[in-house]
Structure 1
Amino acid sequence: MARVQEIPVDAEAGVFTIVTHTSTYLVDLDEMTLLRAPGVGRADAHPETWEVSELRRDSQDIPLLGIRECKVGEPAQFWVRAVDDPDVRTWRITTPVVEIEKIG
């Protein structure tokens, strides 16, 4: 396991945990999935007040189409597809990233 500062937008493999102010994400580039665990973040390390949003399919793997940005200190931007409708695509934009760890 290794901490990194960002996931390159052209990365094609690997499994990463991304901790934001309000949530933790599991990005699996091998399977192209994204999982969000809401409320498991690091807001206590920062003076800002962050509200935890409820999103569809929280705590479930959703199809990941790509990463626009995932860098410590910036909000991550994930391009995802709806589980139940392959024609529906949307962006998941996080609160600022606190930590990224490559776990696989």
Structure 2
Amino acid sequence: MALVNEIPDGTDSGVFAVRTHTSTYLLDLGEGTLLRAPGVGRHDDEVWEVSELRRDSQDIPLLEVRSCKVGDPAQFWVSAADDPDVRTWRITTPVIEIEKID
């Protein structure tokens, strides 16, 4: 396990834990999944509120990591778990830490 500053463009393998001001995201690039754990790892910063999103705490299909860098909001392109034709962006609060797990 190692801390990294970003997930480089084109990365297509590996497992990453991405901690933001309000949640922790688990990305499995090899499997193409994204899981959001709202409130987990929350930063002690009262400015940010934890939002509830559809499919929180469930794996959803991850199509692309558009950007994921410490200090900036991450952008994930995902499809709906129940309808693969429905696609949307998940944009996070600023990233605090990225850990490469595998």
What TM-score does the superposition give when structure 1 sets the normalisation length? 0.95
Look up the SS of the partner of 2:24 in the other structure.
strand
Q: Tell me what 2:73 maps to.
A: 75
Q: CA deviation at 1:66?
A: 0.2
Any residues of structure 2 matched to 1:1-104 within 5 Å, and which?
1-44=1-44, 46=45, 49-104=47-102
Aligned counterparts of 1:76 and 1:38: Cα–Cα separation in 2: 15
Q: Which runs of 5+ in 2 are unaligned?
A: none
Q: CA deviation at 1:11?
A: 0.2
Residue-pair matches, total: 102
Identity of aligned residues (%): 76
What TM-score does the superposition give when structure 2 sets the normalisation length? 0.96
Compute the RMSD of aligned alpha carbons. Answer: 0.9
Contact 1:42/1:98 (8 A) holds in 2: no
